[in-house]
Chains A and B, each alone.
Chain A
Amino acid sequence: MSIEIILIKAREAILECDAKKAVTVAQQALEEGLDPIEVLTNGFSVGIRDIGDLFGRGQVFLPELMMSAQAMKEATVILEAALQAGDIAKKGKMLIGTVQGDVHDIGKGIVVAMIKTQSIEVIDLGRDVPVHTLIEKAMEYNVDIIGTSALLTTTLPEQRKLEDQLRKLGLREKFKTMVGGAPCTQRWADRIGADAYAEDAAQAVTKVIELIGQKN
């Protein structure tokens, strides 16, 4: 089977939320001697981005999104097993939380599910998380990225507080930071000095991979 067909089938498996099909495609790709990273990046990940887009348009719903994330996860396990140790070492750790004063975490939950599919370890601190807890836990787990979500204009300043606090403690260079949430923009990320901004879950996955690449 050609690489093109494998990539199409990988994308389809995700869009159809079909974990069995995803596993079969991943196994076929390995049997054919294809590059696991290419199959992940240009096949399964494309499916995840597409389903994220459909979700954002109200054409796919949360249960399907979760099932496709599971399909992605199962395929990723198989493809990763075939990767060299050096490749696996590229993956990193991310700490994530909704900032203090904010209890909105549906979006963050989706971001977490999507990032986990990339074999990145995610420590989810939940919602209403104070800045000092974010920093303490980031140190404890020795993470690469601290991600924060804020859905309210009134809680957005907590993201700035994190940046200020990290600078004050001399820890700013130790972690990459990423911000998201409805009132958040790239302009806000630039203004407070965050390393990345993601508009939605699909973009969060891409940005996290980029940030981890920068750290390594």
Chain B
Amino acid sequence: MSKFFTRMGDGFGIYLSEEEIRADIEEGTKDAADRAQIPQLSKEEMDHLYDIVTMPGIVVGVERGQEVVTTSDSGGCKISYHCNIAIDRSTAILIHEKVLGADSLDLGHIDYSYKAVKSVLHDEAAMMELTQLNSVIPVLYGSMPNLGLYTKPDGPVDNWAELLPLGRIDEARAAQEEAVEHAVKDIVYVAEGMYEAGADGMNIDTSGASGDADVLAALKAIEIIKQKFPDLGIEMGMAGEFILGMHGKLEYDGVRLAGLYPHNQVKLAEKAGANIFGAVVNTNSNMSFPWNIARTVTFVKACTEAANIPVHVNVGMGVGGVPMCEVPPVDVVTRADKALIEIGKADGL
């Protein structure tokens, strides 16, 4: 029986038979459907996915006319720290635009947290202004709410990671609520500066990295930014496929945040005023690429069906069906892209 080359979720190369690939695709879609209470992929979609996984070329692409746009997270830093080429961020963005054909990019500081960048906002604003003068593509300013930075000893708020294991649940929750207010202030402050510097938009990235309070901070900040600057685009990118309930009781617009999956997350992003939603689905490094991509596409399809704003799926190391390894292999990255666009109906990546 012939076998097809594919990979595990950690990038390790493997050969699977048709039967094994089809079984993994079925298990993957079932897992997503079961977790998020959403429909599984249809027989036709699973067949299409099987075709994508087993296509003979190393690199595959979408059918003509199905091309999508790209946004990025901390894109301005990546040539420097992935390729070890010492260039400033503005030049990196120009290379992305003029050499690599990126549709948009975000400028972000290496510390990539709103709390950290507020103290260097004047430098960041100057960099944004310079970039805007030289580039044509939309350039956003990106950072994370990163609520953990507001906890002691780094910040003013009690550390819930220490309080929770001690059973001091109410204090842990109160600390998170306090941190939300600090984060909202910082995100809005940076957005104001970036608006003045000519940014095309803000990327509130990796929202939820510190749990449900982190998401609440992002949503509240988006709401305020949208009211103040209706023309400023806002992308809200997520940290994981479901919102981790570090607090557990926080709500936005009457909806409990903890435990929400992408198809429910996007509705709240819309409500707050986001223009683009960055859906995230985690890769399981112990499972195969067919399993991971089937699962990812199932979540994404439910999300794009529910959304009224564009959904740009996170496709990078450890997310979007892409293996968790330092240099994601092009064979599975292009297959993930094709599957997310053609079956998941992603508006962008």
Interface residues, chain A, with chain B CB atoms under 8 Å away: 57-64, 66-67, 70, 105-106, 109, 112-113, 153-154, 182-188, 199
Contacts and interface: CB of A to CB of B under 8 A. Distances in A.
Contacts of A59: 259
B335 interface: no
Interface of B, helix, strand, loop or mixed by DSSP:
loop
B10 A62 contact: no
Interface in B252-277: 258-261
Interface core residue of A59, A61, A64, A186 (most chain B CB under 10 Å): A61
Contacts of A60: 245
Interface core residue of A58, A67, A105, A109 (most chain B CB under 10 Å): A58
B6 to A, nearest CB: 15
B324 to A, nearest CB: 4
Contacts of B69: none
Contacts of A182: 282, 285, 318, 324
Contacts of B286: 185-186, 199
A105 B317 CA distance: 20
B259 A58 contact: yes
The range of chain B's interface size is: 20 to 34
Interface of B: 8-10, 12, 35, 161, 164-165, 167, 169, 172-173, 211-212, 242-248, 258-261, 282, 285-286, 317-318, 324-326
B251 to A, nearest CB: 13
Contact of A58 (B10, B243, B324, B325): B243
B167 A67 contact: yes
Contacts of B167: 66-67, 70
B10 A63 contact: no
Given A106-B161, A109-B165, A61 B10 contact: no
A59 B260 CA distance: 9
Nearest to A199: B286
Top 10 nearest A-B pairs (CB, nearest first) are: A61-B245, A58-B242, A61-B248, A58-B259, A183-B324, A153-B326, A63-B169, A61-B258, A63-B248, A66-B164
